[in-house]
Amino acid sequence: MNKKTVRDIDVKGKRVFCRVDFNVPMQNGVVTDDTRIRAALPTIQYLMEQGAKVILASHLGRPKGKVVEEMRLNAVAERLSELLGKRVVKTDEAYGDAVKAAIAQMNEGDVLLLENVRFYPGEEKNDPELAKAFAELADVYVNDAFGAAHRAHASTEGIAHHLPAVAGFLMEKEIEVLGKALSNPDRPFTAIIGGAKVKDKIGVIENLLDKVDNLIIGGGLAYTFVKALGHEIGKSLLEEDKIELAKSFMEKAKEKGVNFYMPVDAVVADDFSNDANKKVVNIDEIPSDWEGLDIGPKTRELYRDVILKSKLVIWNGPMGVFEMDAFAEGTKAVAQALADAEGTYTVIGGGDSAAAVEKFELADKMDHISTGGGASLEFMEGKQLPGVVALNDK
Ligand SMILES: Nc1ncnc2c1ncn2[C@@H]1O[C@H](COP(=O)(O)OP(=O)(O)O)[C@@H](O)[C@H]1O
Ligand SMILES: O=C(OP(=O)(O)O)[C@H](O)COP(=O)(O)O
């Protein structure tokens, strides 16, 4: 990565505004998954050890510029205090005089968490005044919020124009792993793209077709490709306006010598529910009033073989409706193949694929699980992430 990191600057005694992504799931005021908090610990602990005054900032949810009580960061501060074994001070605002006063009380190695930055309308508008108000709190800016790096907001982008601005360790690792995959991959390099909609994955398929040896398609979006081959897909998900695009992707794959893998069979159901009637059919035999909700057993075998023969695999998007146990087998089989693949570097794009490997308790078998769904998708589309671009070059 050609951006400066926390290693490149001296932070002793300095006030460090560190943007993290603590956008974590919560229920009844308790953090239910602290993965993103734990992922930021190396940077926070490093800053503490170096004698910085660590001022953390994050968004939570989408409060749309207003205070939403359930989206306060108090529970996050509590969980962070437990993980650090040190009390984290939490302010009720994210800038202004009260916050400045709290910061003035900090000693070297102390940690303070600001209130949800999205309580202010200027955050998502990247309002220069708000960026300045954040910058006034600190001497240095560190961005460790990979999950929000695709957002050009006041605390992820604007502030970087007012202070020395560097990446944290999580940001560095995410960019290096994904960056290496796209620029200098070990081969065979396989991408597995699933999920609901072709529309959401156009950019990533387009970009990856120039880079991969194998492209595996699954999930709801696969049915538009099946339709493009001329097969009936019953009530399966279809994006009529993307059929031509699906055809062009298959043609492009052929031209480029990319092996394009599609489901050869499917688990179809007579209703979109966990206890629907279901059966396995060949992909060209989907009955007219049934819908494909998972890849079938032959497809699972086929995909497993490709995965086991790869040196690098990137996975984004489930193979079926994995939230329902009846249609989780395909996604589980792919996760299991990744877990079993020895000598294969496995990268899980965030979002539902990360949720799936957690659900199947295979997370510790993966080499890298991205903390950003949208961010890793945009990165894989070949887009520049504003939160990274704004940091100081090496
Ligand atoms: N065959 C299918 N039919 C309908 N929905 C599906 C199918 N396969 C997967 N899905 C749904 O797609 C959703 C995930 O899609 P998406 O948001 O695009 O993935 P990601 O978050 O990994 O980018 C899941 O909720 C899953 O249930
Ligand atoms: O959870 C996030 O996105 P993700 O679910 O795509 O990983 C990030 O915190 C970004 O949140 P946002 O999509 O509300 O900007």
Q: What are the tens digits of pLDDT across the range 118-151? A: 999 999 999 999 999 999 999 999 999 999 999 9
How much is the pLDDT for 351? 85
How much is the pLDDT for 127? 98
How far apart are the CA of 270 and the centre of ligand 2, in A?
A: 33
How far apart are the CA of 194 and the centre of ligand 1, in A?
A: 7
Contact criterion met (CB below 8 Å) for 260 and 254: yes
Is 210 annotated as ligand-binding? no
Ligand 1: residue whose CA is nearest its atom 27? 321
How much is the pLDDT for 1? 87
Sketch out the chain's domains with CATH numbers: 15-171 (3.40.50.1260), 185-381 (3.40.50.1260)
Q: Which atom of ligand 1 is nearest to the CA of 200?
A: 18
How far apart are the CA of 21 and the centre of ligand 2, in A?
A: 9
Among the bound ligands, the one closest to the CA of 219:
1
Task: Please list the alpha-helical segments (H only) found in 126-242.
Answer: 128-135, 169-183, 198-209, 222-228
Contact criterion met (CB below 8 Å) for 287 and 281: yes
Rounded CA gap, 102 and 22, in Å? Answer: 21
pTM of the model: 0.94
How much is the pLDDT for 294? 98
Q: Going along the chain, which residue ranges are E strands? A: 15-19, 26-27, 30-31, 53-57, 89-90, 111-113, 140-143, 165-167, 189-193, 214-217, 259-261, 265-269, 278-282, 291-295, 312-316, 345-348, 368-369
Q: Is 292 in the pocket of ligand 1 (CB under 6 A)?
A: yes
Catalytic, 36? Answer yes
How much is the pLDDT for 251? 98
Those residues of the chain that have pLDDT short of 50 are none
Is 350 annotated as ligand-binding? yes
The residue among 296, 290, 249, 248 whose CA lies nearest residue 270 is 290
Rounded CA gap, 281 and 297, in Å? Answer: 10
Q: Is 318 in the pocket of ligand 1 (CB under 6 A)?
A: yes
Q: Which of 132, 374, 382, 383 is catalytic?
A: 374
Q: By three-state DSSP, how is residue 2 classified?
A: coil
Q: Which of 38, 132, 180, 197 is catalytic?
A: 197
The residue among 172, 170, 155 whose CA lies nearest residue 59 is 155
Report how far Cα 161 is from the mean position of its chain's Cα atoms: 25
How much is the pLDDT for 14? 98
